[in-house]
Amino acid sequence: MSFEHARFLAQVSFPAADRLFDQFEDRVSSLETMPERCAYYDNPFAKPRQYRKLSLGNNLLILFQVVDNTVYIELIIDGRAEIKPLVDF
């Protein structure tokens, strides 16, 4: 999802797409040190306290889970999509 968003953004503004990738890399790599700092993703469609959320810009939400000492990114949600009413940013 982030690649689709960046591809669309690059058609409008390549520097903005480049900033998005830089921000993605910074935010995701920061999960290595302390992923527990992120709030749990509380949504009736998800198992309680299984996923955590990390915002990326104004429109993207990264859902991940921590199993043992490994972070697994499960989903990247574009908040502009039609599923926005189902997603709690």
**What residues does each domain of the chain span?**
2-86
Using CB atoms within 10 Å of the CB of residue 77, give its burial: 0 to 12 exposed, 13 to 18 middle, 19+ buried: buried
pTM of the full structure: 0.75
- Opening angle at CA 65, ends 61 and 69, nearest 5: 135
30 vs 87: which has the higher pLDDT: 30
- Give the CATH superfamily of 2-86: RelE-like (3.30.2310.20)
Residues comprising the chain, all counted:
89
Which residue's entry shows tokens 């591809």?
7
| Torsion angle defined by CA atoms of residues 50, 55, 56 and 57, in that order, rounded to the nearest 10 degrees | 160
- Helical ranges in the chain per DSSP H: 2-12, 14-30
For 37-84, what is each residue's pLDDT tens digit? 999 998 888 888 999 999 887 778 899 999 998 999 998 887 766 554
